Amino acid sequence: MESGVELTPAQVNTMASELRSCMAHADTLLRNRNFAGKVCQTALEASDSPTLRVAGQMRGWSLTLTVKGSGRYNCGDTELTTRVGDLVLHSPEAFYDYRRAFQSTEWVHYWVYFQTEPRFTRWLNWPELSPHIHHLNVPETDIECLTDIFRKAISFTKDETIVSTSLLANQIEELLIRCYSFTELEKPAEYDVRVQDAKDFILERLDQGITIYDVADAVGLSKTRLSALFKANTGRTVFQWRDERRVAEASKLLKKTQLSITQIARATGYNDSLYFSKCFTKVAKVSPTQFRKLRCE
């Protein structure tokens, strides 16, 4: 496109629609396959573009490893600026918004996109940074080993023979197993199983107006002790964590049902649909109405 050419609003809308269509087609091609690759993003170059996907748009998981420079991940209420050795895992329900960190002139990362298989499931229990987004840091001595696995995975992505696809799945499994071994290094010093009990109690009652005292009584802790342990283990307050899960559940209902926004708000514990929309937008970066529209395009 020539420099200085101005587009009419109609032309802008047409371009945006065509771009979304192309992205949707690319996502469809990816959804049922395993892929691996390497991305080098440099400031002011064509490669320097963000990765954006609304929550739940992808069917598979994705894993990235930063090997040079820094990336920035938008995780709802928090942001993560990666450094060399940082691994970020997105589940199928995750909101994707990551790019080169502005303070870094370059960001190089390996990535793998994979479908869920029963043999992978046990290795996906990582520390959670925000709903459906997980983070680990790899010891410096292990980075080269993981990098080598990514390289092998990329080599098996180049064709779709049964041998290559099987070898790619094996590389992904090895990658996940090795990453899982680092989860013990990430557990908080004050780890307490009653925090998980509190999470389970909340998840079973997302649509209910429970109080902090209800949660504390259910797990046998005082309100003060529960709050301290929960914050130490998750980085969030009890109800910040609950609201993130409510929004995640609402995104599923927006995708899979024809319920109204008000009905979905009530189903996820919000009596006020306007407050629900505010909470949803804060986490998903789009309103419930926009989210549903994007999912239908």
Provide the CATH number for the domain around residue 214: 1.10.10.60
Nearest to 239 by CA among 228, 227, 250: 227
Q: Do 207 and 141 share a structural domain? A: no
User: 73 with 200, same domain?
Assistant: no
The pLDDT score that the predictor gives to residue 151 is 96
Q: Which of 155, 186, 217 is the last residue of a domain?
A: 186
In a domain? residue 59: yes
The residue range of the domain holding 209 is 193-296
| Same domain (yes/no): 150, 254 | no
Give the pLDDT score at 223. 92
Boundary of a domain, candidates 166, 186, 206: 186
- Domain membership flag for residue 123: yes
Same domain, 286 and 170: no
Task: Read off the CATH number of the domain in which 128 is found.
Answer: 2.60.120.280
**Beta-strand runs (E) in the chain:** 35-42, 51-53, 61-69, 71-75, 78-81, 86-90, 96-100, 106-114, 128-130, 133-137
Q: How many CB atoms lie within 10 A of CB 212?
A: 17
Shared domain check, 199 and 173: no
Can you give the pLDDT at residue 3?
Answer: 44
Residues 105 and 79 occupy one common structural domain: yes
- 145 occurs within a structural domain: yes
- pLDDT at residue 23 in the model: 47
Phi-psi region of 220 (alpha: psi -120 to 50; beta: other; left: phi over 0): left
- Using DSSP, state whether 96 is helix, strand or coil: strand
Cα 60 to Cα 15, 28, 93, 286, distances in angstroms: 28, 11, 9, 22
Q: Are residues 45 and 146 in the same domain?
A: yes
Same domain, 181 and 46: yes
The long-range contacts involving 234-240, CB below 8 angstroms and separated by at least 24 positions, are 234/128, 234/195, 235/78, 235/129, 236/77, 238/198, 238/202, 238/212, 239/212, 240/77
From first to last of its 297 residues, the chain has per-residue pLDDT tens of 444 456 666 655 565 555 545 545 555 555 568 999 999 999 888 888 888 776 666 678 999 999 999 999 987 767 899 999 999 999 887 878 899 999 999 999 999 999 888 888 888 888 888 878 899 999 899 999 999 999 999 999 988 899 999 999 999 999 999 998 888 655 555 567 888 899 999 989 988 889 999 999 999 999 999 998 888 877 788 988 898 888 888 888 887 888 999 999 999 999 999 999 998 888 777 889 888 876 555
C-alpha distance from residue 52 to each of 99, 156, 164, 200, 277 (Å): 9, 26, 29, 30, 21
What's the pTM value of the predicted model, to 2 decimals?
0.66
pLDDT at site 252 = 81
Residue 70 placed within a domain:
yes
Could you give the CA distance from residue 155 to residue 148 in angstroms, rounded to a whole number? 11
Pair 55, 138 in one domain: yes
Are 92 and 73 found together in one domain?
yes
Q: Is residue 274 part of a domain?
A: yes
Q: Of 148, 168, 186, which residue is a domain's last?
A: 186
**Does residue 201 share a domain with residue 69?**
no
Handedness of CA 217, 222, 228, 229 (dihedral sign): negative
The pLDDT, as a whole number, for residue 95 is 77
pLDDT at residue 36, rounded to an integer: 94
Domain count of the fold of the chain: 2
In a domain, 26, yes or no: no
Residues 197 and 161 in one domain: no
